Amino acid sequence: MMPLSVSISSWLLDFRLSFSTGNSDNFMAGNGLPVPSLGRVKLSDLIPSEGLPSDSYKLSVSTLSQSLAQYSAAIIQFSGIDGALLRSGLDSARLYFHQRSSYPSADMIHTNDSREWCKTSGYYADPQLWQETFDYRPGLTPTEPNNSMEFPPGGLPDIFALLGKAARDILDAISFYLNLRSSPFTEILDNVPLRSREISSSVLSVCCYARPSFQGAQHHNLTAQEDGQMVMYNDHEHQVDKSLISLVKSDKAGLHVRDFHGRWVLVDGDLGPQEAIVYPGLALYQATAGYINPALHRTEINNMQGNMYGRCSLAFKLMPKSMTSLSCSEMRAAGHGVEAQFQLPVPVDDFMQRPHPTDQIFNRHNFQSFNFSTSQDGRQ
């Protein structure tokens, strides 16, 4: 795949994404500058089939890949039935967190511990981030501190299955765009279905930010000035998932992702009821030798006055198995250049536990990751 010259202007990219997603009326702002417009792709168009790829598949893969190159995120459109499942999951999440106590017990309070990355399950909270989470991980049964069974939000097994299948289809679409063989990451993914006594590496996190009745508000530390208005974000303003693929559906806008030009873009401001956000994580960045940049994201928790539930979201993270390694052998086999830092396989468990300075990642000029060639974008 030939490198994409950086001289291809972002204006043209925004223009193409706007028209490919049906948002051409939002393309120009009052000052004549492009309005950021993520690519919108129907999940049904990303499902591969035997034989030659259809035009709709090639066009959808191209739209997805260009959006990831420009914004590190894209919008995935689910079917009406699947969209209803996601919305019912968010309704259940609001009720679940609303009935929780105002302040969790000490053993339910913990911050992000990288050593526990594949073992989290059940409810936990971080008052300093004003955040509560319920992790659903098949193979682990969550319990309360008194060893009683915990009743989770409803519908999690079905939502896990839906988003897990979607994440794998999206991963295969990215593989197609990079000209890798079919399902090149199968060896590092969980079995489908899980075998006896296996525990899922992937996780569905049901999150709640800024619930008014949760006594964490006085501990958060989160203001930033934007356009003369006070905007609030959680403490870890620069977050990067260590997943391969992350899918997020929220009940309120507030997810910001940094685009290729360093601008923070609100990516879920105009989501439809059947739409969710997808973005790559650090594991995919490593496995593709840096060709796919991970999304640097932050969550706005402003404008919660008068809201009794806070901001709820469903976040699925497709994770590699802990006993495998992230290798760039598939990229080499496809003819891609692999830099020295990606030459050796990295054990997944080590990768998940070590820090990854974002300045070293996002200062790399790898926008040439995607080659918008005629043969790959669905045009004949």
Count of domains observed in the chain: 1
Stretch 350-355: mean pLDDT, rounded? Answer: 92
* Tens of pLDDT, residues 182-240: 999 999 999 999 999 999 999 999 999 988 877 654 444 444 444 444 345 554 557 89
Neighbouring CB atoms inside 10 A of 55's CB total: 12
Q: Reply yes or no on whether the pLDDT at 175 is more than 50.
A: yes
Q: Can you give the CATH number for the domain in which 210 is found?
A: 2.60.120.330
What is the structure's pLDDT at 212? 83
pTM value surpassing 0.85: no
Residue 43 lies in a domain: no
* 77: enclosing H helix or E strand: strand 74-77
DSSP character string of 229-273: EEEEB-S--SB---SSEEEEEESS--EEEE-TTS-EEESSTT--T
Residue 252 lies in a domain: yes
What is the structure's pLDDT at 105? 67
What is the structure's pLDDT at 378? 40
Instruction: Give 68's contacts (C-beta < 8 A, 6+ positions apart).
Output: 74, 174, 279, 280, 292, 293, 370
Q: Which domain holds residue 237?
A: 59-359
What is the structure's pLDDT at 20? 46
Measured CA to CA, the distance from residue 371 to residue 8 in angstroms comes to 11
The token duo for 361 is: 């990642």
Residue 131 lies in a domain: yes
pLDDT-based confidence at 305, cuts 50/70/90?
Answer: low
Residue 377 lies in a domain: no
What is the structure's pLDDT at 301? 77
Smallest CA-to-CA distance from 281 within 298, 267, 295 is with 295
Residue 38 lies in a domain: no
Between residues 116 and 292, which one has the greater pLDDT? Answer: 292
What is the structure's pLDDT at 115? 64
Stretch 310-317: mean pLDDT, rounded? Answer: 96
What is the structure's pLDDT at 128? 79
Measured CA to CA, the distance from residue 49 to residue 277 in angstroms comes to 24
The token duo for 132 is: 């509560």
Between residues 188 and 16, which one has the greater pLDDT? Answer: 188
Give the relative orientation of helices 156-177 and 80-98 as an angle to the nearest 10 degrees.
130
pLDDT-based confidence at 138, cuts 50/70/90?
Answer: very high
Smallest CA-to-CA distance from 204 within 236, 164, 176 is with 164
Q: Residue 349 is which amino acid?
A: D
Residue 241 near residue 319, CB atoms below 8 Å: no
Smallest CA-to-CA distance from 46 within 169, 171, 145 is with 169
Compute the CA torsion angle 175, 177, 182, 187 (nearest 10 deg).
-10
pLDDT-based confidence at 379, cuts 50/70/90?
Answer: very low
pLDDT, averaged across the chain: 81
pLDDT-based confidence at 147, cuts 50/70/90?
Answer: low
What is the structure's pLDDT at 94? 95
Q: Reply yes or no on whether the pLDDT at 64 is more than 70.
A: yes
Residue 190 near residue 323, CB atoms below 8 Å: no
Residue 249 lies in a domain: yes
What is the structure's pLDDT at 102? 73
Residue 153 lies in a domain: yes
pLDDT-based confidence at 134, cuts 50/70/90?
Answer: very high
Q: Residue 218 is which amino acid?
A: Q
Between residues 307 and 67, which one has the greater pLDDT? Answer: 67
Measured CA to CA, the distance from residue 230 to residue 343 in angstroms comes to 45
Residue 372 lies in a domain: no
What is the total residue count of the chain? 380
The segment with the largest mean pLDDT, out of 124-128, 236-240, 258-262, is 258-262
Triad 295, 304, 144: Cα angle to 5° = 75
What is the structure's pLDDT at 112? 61
